[in-house]
């Protein structure tokens, strides 16, 4: 298994190398789930029904992300042609708002988060079925969107007591699934609207984008389960479970590489085995195994544990660098990245945190059933 001292090195590399909005958002999430898990969406995110009041100096994730959040523009961060990627910073922006001693309607972080969501919901192009585009200039659906936007919509909806916004987070997942989902379970990476043939498209089952989608829906599910709207969103929760399960099942069916890692494109044996997508997919299985153990039991947990072991063999214990990894800016590159993938580094941390929390939950369940602490026997 992965040693904590190695994970600390992996995390440091993620922090040092992140340079894009979605990377900042993902490293924030990794820091929160790893260092301060009790504040994450998988534990007690809404004490007393509200988002928590935190002190920035006490939460490493907020210290990390604060310098990257812009409070004087329409976007929380430069999106490089995407309005969805900066949306990944909405949750830390709201937590920074709650961390201030004087919370007013003109608080810079609250205003910035509101502007980001207004920009996303009001000016971003829509696909024919109503799905919000991942890109600014034209209608294009990327599976990555599911990790960036729906968790932010759900969290903001709980924060503002807006059930419609909470449900919209799930609707966007459904609309994306309508377009990107395949008969094999896993999703296509990118679909563009008609008339955009000259822009980037990708019908392949990119491992990382499938993991983004599954992980994003899992975060939305946890938000619903932990919020005051748990009973009012039973149908939405069922949909999220179904959509996530089919991605898992498709990935597991395509898991045939001798390395124990998933391939960069899941169903294409000509592609290299890859750490980043494997790590996030396995992390998401562990999270679902805690949220819905009746569905994601031994078969899924056993698979995720084997992926954890495979990932652990592909970490440099001296430097903390994960390899082989995809070049996330050129996912069609036929060779692994010669360098560090910041999101991949964060995915490994998310995997360790998810496994640790699953193990704790399993131990607690065992104690509750037998009255015996297995760690003391």
C-alpha distances (whole Å) from 274 to each of 11, 82, 355 are 18, 25, 19
Structure-block tokens of residue 327: 């070049």
Q: C-alpha angle 348/350/351, rounded to 5°?
A: 65
Q: Using CA atoms in the order 69, 211, 264, 307, what is the torsion angle rounded to 10 degrees?
A: 120
pLDDT digits (tens, 9 = 90+) for 195-236: 776 678 899 999 999 999 999 999 999 999 999 999 999 999
**For the chain, how far is it from start to end, CA to CA, in angstroms?**
21
In the structure, what pLDDT confidence band is assigned to residue 102 with cuts at 50, 70 and 90? low
What was the pLDDT predicted at 148?
Answer: 98
Query: Under 8 Å CB-to-CB from 279, ≥6 apart: which residues?
Result: 211, 307, 311, 322, 344, 347, 348, 350, 351
pLDDT in tens, 229-280: 999 999 999 999 999 999 999 999 999 999 999 999 999 999 999 999 999 9
Lowest mean pLDDT across 10-19, 26-35, 198-207, 329-338: 198-207
Report d(CA 206, CA 187) in Å as an integer.
8
**How far from 111 is each of 72, 96, 116, 133, CA to CA, in Å?**
9, 12, 9, 23
Measured distance CA(66)–CA(56) in Å, rounded: 9
pTM of the model: 0.95
Tell whether the model's pLDDT for residue 294 goes beyond 80. yes
Residue 301: other Cβ atoms inside 10 A: 20
The pLDDT-based confidence of 81 (bands split at 50, 70, 90) is: very high
pLDDT at position 366? 76
Q: What local confidence, expressed as pLDDT, does residue 377 receive? A: 39
Provide the pLDDT for residue 268.
Answer: 96
Q: For the segment 316-352, what is each residue's pLDDT rounded down to a tens digit?
A: 999 999 999 999 999 999 999 999 999 999 999 999 9
Kindly list the domain boundaries of the chain, sorted by start residue.
4-359
79 vs 312: CA distance, rounded Å: 32
Residue 101: which pLDDT band, with cuts at 50, 70 and 90?
low
Please determine, for residue 376, whether its predicted confidence score (pLDDT) is greater than 50: no
Mean pLDDT of the chain: 94
pLDDT tens column, 297-321: 999 999 999 999 999 999 999 999 9
Q: What does the alpha-carbon distance between residue 262 and residue 214 come to, in Å, rounded to a whole number?
A: 15
pLDDT in tens, 89-98: 999 999 999 9
338-372 b/e (C-beta count within 10 Å ≥ 16 → b): eebbbbbbbbbbbbbbbbbbbeebeeeeeeeeeee
pLDDT in tens, 59-78: 999 999 999 999 999 999 99
Residue 371 has pLDDT above 80, yes or no: no
Query: Is residue 48's pLDDT more than 80?
Result: yes
Query: Tens digit of pLDDT for each residue in 115-167?
Result: 999 999 999 999 999 999 999 999 999 999 999 999 999 999 999 999 999 99
CATH 1.50.10.10 applies to domain 4-359: yes
Q: Note the pLDDT of residue 144.
A: 98
Query: How far is it, in rounded angstroms, from Cα 38 to Cα 331?
Result: 34
Task: Tell me the pLDDT band of 105, cut-offs 50, 70 and 90.
Answer: low
């Amino acid at each position: 298994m992965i040693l904590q001292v190695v994970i600390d090195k992996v995390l440091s590399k993620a922090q040092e190398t992140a340079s894009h909005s979605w990377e900042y958002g993902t490293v924030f999430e990794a820091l929160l789930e790893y260092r301060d898990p009790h504040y994450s969406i998988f534990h007690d995110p809404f004490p007393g029904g509200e988002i928590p009041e935190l002190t920035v100096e006490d939460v490493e994730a907020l210290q990390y992300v604060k310098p990257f959040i812009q409070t004087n523009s329409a976007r929380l961060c430069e999106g490089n042609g995407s309005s969805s990627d900066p949306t990944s910073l909405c949750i830390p922006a709201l937590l920074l708002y709650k961390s201030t001693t004087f919370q007013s309607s003109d608080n810079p972080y609250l205003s910035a988060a509101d502007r980001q969501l207004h920009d996303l919901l009001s000016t971003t192009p829509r696909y024919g079925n109503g799905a919000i585009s991942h890109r600014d200039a034209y209608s294009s659906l990327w599976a990555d969107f599911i990790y960036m936007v729906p968790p932010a919509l759900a969290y903001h909806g709980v924060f503002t007591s807006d059930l419609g916004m909470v449900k919209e987070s799930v609707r966007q997942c459904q609309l994306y699934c309508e377009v990107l989902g395949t008969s094999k379970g896993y999703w296509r990476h990118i679909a563009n609207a008609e008339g955009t043939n000259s822009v980037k498209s990708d019908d392949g089952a990119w491992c990382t984008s499938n993991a983004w989608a599954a992980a994003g829906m899992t975060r939305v599910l946890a938000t619903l389960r932990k919020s005051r709207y748990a009973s009012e969103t039973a149908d939405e929760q069922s949909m999220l479970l179904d959509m996530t399960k089919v991605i898992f099942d498709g990935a597991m069916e395509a898991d045939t590489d001798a390395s124990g890692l998933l391939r960069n494109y899941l169903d294409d044996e000509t592609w290299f085995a890859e750490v980043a997508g494997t790590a996030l997919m396995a992390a998401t299985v562990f999270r679902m195994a805690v949220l819905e153990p009746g569905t994601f039991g031994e078969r899924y947990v056993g698979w995720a544990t084997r992926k954890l072991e495979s990932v652990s063999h592909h970490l440099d214990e001296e430097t903390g660098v994960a390899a082989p990894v995809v070049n996330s800016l050129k996912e069609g590159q036929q060779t692994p990245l010669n360098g560090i993938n910041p999101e991949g580094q964060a995915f490994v941390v998310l995997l360790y945190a998810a496994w640790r929390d699953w193990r704790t939950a399993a131990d607690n369940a065992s104690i509750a059933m037998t009255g015996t602490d297995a760690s003391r026997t």
